[in-house]
A = this chain, B = another copy of it.
Amino acid sequence: MTHFNERLGAGGFRFTPQRQRVYEVLMETRDHPTAEEVFIRAKKRMPEISHATVYNCLDALVQSGLARQVTLERGATRFCPNMEEHCHYHCEDCGEVFDVALPKNSTLLPRPKGFKIARYDIAVHGVCADCAAKAKK
């Protein structure tokens, strides 16, 4: 997991088992967990890990470009380790969040002059195919 160490280091963060564990959790199940969910999953194999540490680790991962925050609605912030350009499709029925790659050269974003774009988040809300099918029955 050398990419992990490099990234952490580049961000000015040290390697710790907790950070690794939190990253593993994100990579294992790509379901955009909340910090609380990450905490519960991380705890399964690292029972001493604390709440505060999970928040710390998530911050470190976000700051070193290993994860993103996703804030969809009121409620807990979610996290995902997919660093490619993508949007989040959020099903309002089942609550699932799907990553959808952005088409290359999508001429989408306005570039107001002077504004330096660092990153952007696109969240699309609606109803997923499965839930739409169920609703029809």
Contact = CB atoms under 8 A, between A and B. Distances in A.
B101 A128 contact: no
A68 B34 CA distance: 23
Query: In the complex this chain forms, how many copies of it are found?
Result: 2
A98 B117 CA distance: 13
A48 B96 CA distance: 40
Interface string A108-130: 11101111111111111111111
Interface residues of A, number: 41
A70 to B, nearest CB: 9
Contacts of A69: 73-74
A37 interface: no
A129 to B, nearest CB: 3
